[in-house]
């Protein structure tokens, strides 16, 4: 008997081997990734998918910038919605029948401290003159070693607003794609109306929230390595297999998982299990089947 499995796909599943995001490269990458997903569905698992969208949003932001003097730039929440639909269509074409995409909104708090200190870099690097030009349009840019890059807030996901629709489709037997890119960030104004905000929500934290909301048994965070690694980049590095939430919290607090890469994945895996999920798995896409049976991967339980 299969399980309810939510898989958070990393960006490597959506782009070419060199990170390129041309339409042909994206289509080939998605088709390859979906072969692994189709195998899980064939085994009887009810699969829900989330995905990253960094390169795709980066392309839209570049188009915004190049055409800013011709057409008004679209806001970041629109970019998120567009990429959910585009990537979702590629996934649907690769999976065939009994798959569905839900353009998904994620509720955030407009007073989240992240809005006062935007640190999430998005888009490409530019020279200072271009950065200053867009600062005059209200954007925040910061200088890095490779040049200037736009930064935005990355607030905490509070609720996946469209989870009931996702649940209904899962219960009806569909493989569902939802909360791509962490979801379209929205907040409630003083009158209770929802409006999009300029922010990027961490896709793995959003995946953990979605997994709880749709009664998922297992949260799988697919990356490009078969395990999370303790002491990464040191002589004492070792792959992490089965681990309790208490043990993993200690390792996380000790700084074993980099903030910009494995850290959010570990945090998402912890949150899902700590808040009632059966188990989380961090592993590579091709190893998911073996990880679900406990043969490989970093498996997190209470």
- Is 120 catalytic? The answer is yes
- Cα 130 to Cα 57, 62, 120, 122: the distances in Å are 18, 12, 19, 15
Q: What whole-number distance in Å separates Cα of residue 109 and Cα of residue 95? A: 35
Pairing assessment for the beta strands 238-239 and 184-188 based on DSSP bridges: unpaired
CB-neighbour burial class of residue 23 (10 A; exposed 0-12, middle 13-18, buried 19+): exposed
Say which residues have a Cβ less than 8 Å from residue 56's Cβ, sequence separation at least 6.
14, 21, 26, 83, 86, 87
Find out whether 177 and 102 touch, Cβ atoms under 8 Å. Answer: yes
Q: Find the catalytic residue in 54, 203, 277, 297.
A: 203
Q: Find the catalytic residue in 11, 54, 80, 277.
A: 11
Q: Find the catalytic residue in 2, 16, 120, 196.
A: 120
- Is 11 catalytic? The answer is yes
- Is 302 catalytic? The answer is no
Q: Find the catalytic residue in 12, 58, 63, 196.
A: 12
- Is 88 catalytic? The answer is no
Q: Find the catalytic residue in 53, 123, 180, 265.
A: 265
- Is 63 catalytic? The answer is no
Residues labelled catalytic: 11-12, 120, 203, 265
């Amino acid at each position: 008997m299969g399980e309810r499995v939510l898989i958070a796909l990393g960006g490597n599943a959506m782009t070419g081997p060199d990170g390129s995001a041309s339409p042909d490269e994206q289509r080939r990458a998605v088709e390859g990734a979906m072969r692994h997903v189709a195998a899980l569905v064939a085994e009887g698992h009810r699969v829900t998918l989330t995905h990253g969208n960094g390169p795709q949003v980066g392309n839209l932001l570049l188009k915004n910038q190049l055409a800013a003097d011709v057409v008004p730039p679209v806001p970041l929440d629109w970019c998120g919605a567009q990429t959910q639909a585009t990537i979702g269509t590629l996934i649907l074409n690769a999976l065939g029948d009994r798959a569905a995409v839900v353009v998904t909104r994620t509720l955030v708090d407009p007073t989240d401290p992240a809005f006062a200190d935007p640190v999430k870099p998005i888009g490409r690097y530019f020279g200072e003159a271009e950065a200053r030009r867009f600062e005059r349009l209200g954007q925040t840019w910061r200088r890095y070693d490779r040049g200037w890059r736009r930064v935005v807030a990355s607030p905490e996901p509070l609720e996946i607003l469209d989870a009931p629709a996702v649940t209904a489709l899962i219960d009806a037997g569909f493989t569902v794609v939802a909360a791509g890119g962490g979801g379209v960030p929205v907040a409630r104004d003083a009158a209770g109306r929802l409006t999009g905000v300029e922010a990027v929500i961490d896709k793995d934290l959003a995946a953990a929230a979605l997994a709880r909301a749709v009664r998922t048994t297992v949260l799988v965070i697919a990356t490009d390595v078969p395990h999370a690694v303790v002491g990464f980049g040191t002589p004492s590095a070792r792959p992490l297999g089965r681990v309790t939430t208490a043990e993993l919290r200690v390792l996380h607090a000790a700084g074993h998982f980099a903030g910009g890469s494995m850290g959010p994945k570990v945090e998402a895996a912890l949150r899902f299990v700590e808040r009632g999920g059966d188990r989380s798995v961090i592993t590579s896409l091709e190893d998911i089947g073996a990880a679900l049976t406990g043969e490989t991967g970093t498996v997190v339980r209470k």
